Each structure stands twice: as C-alpha cells, then as structure tokens.
Amino acid sequence: MHRRSSIAAVAIGIAAFAAPTPAADPPLSAEKWQVTHQLVQGMPWPSAKRSEKELLATVKEMESTGDQRLVFALSDLAGWYRGQGRFDDAEKTYRRVLALQEKRGLANHHDIGIQHNDLGVVLTEAGKYPAAEAQFKTSIDKWEKHWPMPMQTEDYAVTLHNYAVLLQKLGRAGDAKATEERGAKIMAERRKALGM
C-alpha cells in the first residue's frame, strides 16, 4: 500500500498510537473529523500480510532504481517495523528514506513532508518527544511552503493532527487544540469543495 491520497483512506486510521490522556487534559477530538493517529505512507499496522522477509526482498529489488519505488518499499518496511514496535529499526529506515529523497533533489519538495510526518509518529511512540516535534515542524514547513495547490491536502491535515497528539503529550493542551483545529479546518474545506 503506498501513499494514502483519498479522504476515505485518511478516515481509516486507528487510535493505537496515543497513550491514555491525563484526566486534566480533554482528549483530542479526532472523531469529529475521522482522522486518528496514523502514518500517511507505508503500512503501519502489524496486521499487514507481508512478512519482514518479503518487505526486505522488495527493498533489495528496488535498490537499483534509487527512485520513488525504493522510497515506497522503504516506507512500507519502516511502517511494518513501527507496527511491530521496533521503533529503532523504523527510525533508521525513515531516516534512510529522507536521505534518499534529499539525494534525489527533493529536500524542498512537499512530498518529503510525508516522511517527516512518519518519522515524527515513530519518534513520538518511542518517547523521543523533542526529536518528534522537530520532525513535525519540518513536515508542516514543507507543506506550507511547497504545496502548489490552492486547497491543502489531507496529508497535511493528518500531520497537524499527529503534531497535536504530541503537543498534548507534552502538556501543551492549548497548542494541541489550536493545531488540531487547523487540521479540522482543512478537512472541512476539502469536504465542502468535494461535495461530501
């Protein structure tokens, strides 16, 4: 499974990512707009039917291309590692994807925001909050500066939501709420524009 580009795909996520929220902070209201904690790209859940051996074989097969096919193969492998709770392997693999994208001259392309988001999710789950925040901020910056269309993408909305989850974990409930509201606004605008 590669990039989830439809609103329906974004709505599929599950709430396995977040730890229970302290009673002092109201929970983020993902159910309002049907986006929960998920990766935008890659196969994040351990229920994925491919084995590590199969995923590694695909990566090996795509090594010679050095193009987007290798990015997808590595992203799927990293998502699989994440689903297995192998956060160090997932982090290492996402960092490899970022290095590959930069080598391909895509350091300032909006699509690299996807990998920064995915790495931010993994770092959040691994408890590396400052590093996760840096990844989410970079992802947001890429979407804001390099997205060429007048209407923002749902991938950007998911990144905002994931960042809001991290902010809440950091005890910054006000910032979390404001960030989530930005994502909710994007999703509402997309629904309206698409007649949903």
**Cα 187 from chain centre:** 16
pLDDT value of residue 48: 60
Does a structural domain hold residue 1? no
Give the pair of three-digit tokens for residue 111.
């699509």
Structural domain of 153: 7-14+29-193
Angle separating helix axes 129-146 and 112-125, nearest 10 degrees: 160
User: What is the band of 104 on the pLDDT scale with cuts at 50, 70, 90?
Assistant: confident
Does a structural domain hold residue 24? no
What's the pLDDT tens digit per position in 120-169? 999 999 999 999 999 999 999 988 887 766 667 788 888 999 999 999 99
* CATH value at residue 162: 1.25.40.10
Does a structural domain hold residue 155? yes
Does a structural domain hold residue 2? no
Residues in the chain: 196
Q: Residue 177: pLDDT above 50?
A: yes
pLDDT value of residue 70: 92
Domain count, the chain: 1
Which amino acid would we find at residue 109? H
More confident residue, 41 or 122: 122
pLDDT value of residue 74: 92
